[in-house]
Amino acid sequence: MVDPAAADQAGSQAIGANEYTPLLTASGMNGAGRDSRMATMSIAARETRTILSASSHLFIGSTLQAIISMSQIASSGHLGRSELAGIGLAHMVVILTGYPVAFSVLSCFETCASQAFTSTQPHLVGGYFIRALQIQWILGLVLGALWFSAEPLLTFIFHGTNPTVVAMAMSYLRWYFVPFMVFANFLCAKQVLYAQGITYPLPYLTFIGAVATLAGQYLFVFSPYFSLGVRGIALGNGLSYLVMLLATLWIIYRHDVRRIWSGRLSCAPWQPFLRLLPPCLALALFSTGTSELITMAATQLGARSLATQSVLSALSRMFMIAFSSIGISALNRTGNLIGMRSVRGAKVSASVSLLIGLACAVLAALVMFWSPEMWIRIITDDAQVIEDARQVLPMAILAFAAQSTAFVGSQLLSAQGRQSLAVGIKFATLYAIGVPLGYYWAIASGYGLVGLWAAVAVGQLCTGVAEAAVVLGTNWTRLIDSCTESIIVH
């Protein structure tokens, strides 16, 4: 049974008594008001340093993770056009079916682990980690059955596609299933570290993973000993994921594992996970499906627009890789403060996170506005595509900035365990507003990709504004009581 008084005392000792004092007292209101403002400014400065420090580690790690993904595409491109197209088709299946499974479970675990670590029962982090792995593999069995038997479905959906390409995609999916599950487990293992505020190892982990990827792809794809083609690319990535997973588990063990793991006492309840899983799954589907929806819409505008859209999609991924680190840092920091029962700390940290996300998005957008052609040339050197992308990029940059800011809001709602509210906001803004606008501006009005990305920008902007309003208007006292009741074992 959780003792609220004990939890308050533990949180106060951990993060500072000023965050638990009332904003104003009945006597000496002026002096108390000044003290309150000074305390809030001190907390804001500390939270800014904490979030930026964690984000810098995550940014470097995410950049190296992008190199791993790029090496996979480069390897398939060197094998041939059919192999490249086959892996592209397989990736669409992975994004639409595999990512929702992996990231929905991760979202549940992020909420539970970040709050549990700073609560009176930090050993629940280990228990929730086991629950996450169990649910991942249960859902993974269904996913594996789909991937191994998807050939007739892919042939039907892509009936105009070369059968060789479909065969390549199926070969990759079958060999990629176990590596993908290892990747999903690695995501949860990283979250064990993030929940404890440990982010500095990530650049080293992903550097080791990048080296393992390059070595594995040379060994399995290009060396004369194996030459496994697309199967070798899957195995090379699997080797990278396995190395990173084992290294992460070793780091977890070295960082006072007894605090988050106490044997049988680490058993965590199923109910919080099962309660959060449906909205987390819907949120993951909405998040991963948006970019695919844009690409599918671009196919209706012709091959030239589709080529331009490929460049813009690549730039969008680069933008999100750079700024997803802020959202992840914000989620774990706010979750920790909720677990501590720090009302003022959680409120200030969430506000600071939104401001940091907005400032970084605006700064990055200005950099891209300053020299748009330089960024486009990173992806392509085709003169016609460069010219088309230059015309669309200003509107796309607004969409990139709005999306990265909205991601911080979504992560803060996840820290609060309010993924169902995030789903409702995204459905209303992206699908009820963005999709009709996209059809009207891009197709009915004939603005093409400019109209399509304008609709995306409006939808993401509405998402960010709505999520920020919800986060800033949170009743933190009531929320923290609710989270303590639902996440901590009684």
b/e string for 386-405 if b means 16 or more Cβ within 10 A? bebbeebbebbbbbbbbbbb
- Token digits for 96? 């639409």
- DSSP H stretches of helix in 196-342: 202-217, 230-254, 257-260, 271-298, 303-339
Give the span between the Cα atoms of 451 and 300, in whole angstroms: 13
Give the span between the Cα atoms of 194 and 107, in whole angstroms: 13
Give the span between the Cα atoms of 392 and 397, in whole angstroms: 9
Q: Identify the pLDDT of residue 17.
A: 41
Q: Identify the pLDDT of residue 231.
A: 84
Give the span between the Cα atoms of 250 and 116, in whole angstroms: 21
- Residue 133 CB: number of other CB atoms within 10 A? 18
Q: Identify the pLDDT of residue 74.
A: 59
Give the span between the Cα atoms of 108 and 407, in whole angstroms: 16
Q: How far is CA 125 from CA 132, 193, 355, in A?
A: 10, 10, 29
- Token digits for 114? 């970040």
Q: Taking a C-beta distance cutoff of 8 angstroms, is the pair 86, 168 a contact?
A: yes
Give the span between the Cα atoms of 325 and 362, in whole angstroms: 16
Output the pTM of the full model.
Answer: 0.84
Sign (positive or negative) of CA dihedral 239, 242, 248, 254: negative
| 470 phi, psi to nearest 5 deg | -65, -45
User: Residues near 357 by Cβ (< 8 Å), separated by ≥ 6?
Assistant: 323, 326, 327, 330, 404, 405, 407, 408, 409
User: Residues near 109 by Cβ (< 8 Å), separated by ≥ 6?
Assistant: 128, 129, 131, 132, 188, 191, 273
What type of residue sits at position 322?
Answer: A
What type of residue sits at position 328?
Answer: I
Give the span between the Cα atoms of 316 and 44, in whole angstroms: 30
Give the span between the Cα atoms of 295 and 311, in whole angstroms: 11
- Residue 4 CB: number of other CB atoms within 10 A? 12
Give the span between the Cα atoms of 260 and 252, in whole angstroms: 9
Q: Burial, 34: exposed, middle or buried (Cβ in 10 Å; 0-12, 13-18, 19+)?
A: exposed
What type of residue sits at position 288?
Answer: T
DSSP, residue by residue, 106-120? HHHHHHHHHHHHTSS
What type of residue sits at position 467?
Answer: E
Give the span between the Cα atoms of 194 and 178, in whole angstroms: 25
Q: Identify the pLDDT of residue 301.
A: 72
Q: Taking a C-beta distance cutoff of 8 angstroms, is the pair 202, 60 a contact?
A: yes
Q: Identify the pLDDT of residue 73.
A: 60
Give the span between the Cα atoms of 360 and 57, in whole angstroms: 16
* pLDDT tens, per residue, the chain with 490 residues: 334 444 444 344 344 444 544 444 444 445 555 667 788 888 889 999 999 999 888 888 887 776 666 666 655 555 666 676 777 778 888 888 999 999 999 999 999 999 999 988 898 999 999 999 999 999 999 999 999 988 888 887 777 667 787 888 888 899 999 999 999 999 999 999 999 999 999 889 988 988 888 888 888 877 777 777 778 888 888 998 999 999 999 999 988 888 888 766 567 888 888 899 999 998 888 777 666 677 667 666 776 776 777 778 777 877 787 778 899 999 999 999 999 999 999 999 999 999 999 999 999 889 888 888 888 887 677 788 888 888 888 898 999 899 989 999 999 999 999 999 999 999 899 888 988 998 889 888 888 888 989 999 999 999 999 999 999 999 999 999 998 888 876 5
Give the span between the Cα atoms of 340 and 118, in whole angstroms: 5
- Token digits for 198? 């440990």
What type of residue sits at position 290?
Answer: T
Residue matched to tokens 């506000």: 351
Q: C-alpha angle 444/445/446, rounded to 5°?
A: 95
Torsion of CA 480, 486, 488, 490, to 10 degrees: 120
DSSP, residue by residue, 377-419? HHH---HHHHHHHHHHHHHHHHHHHHHHHHHHHHHHHHHTT-H
- Token digits for 23? 């904003």
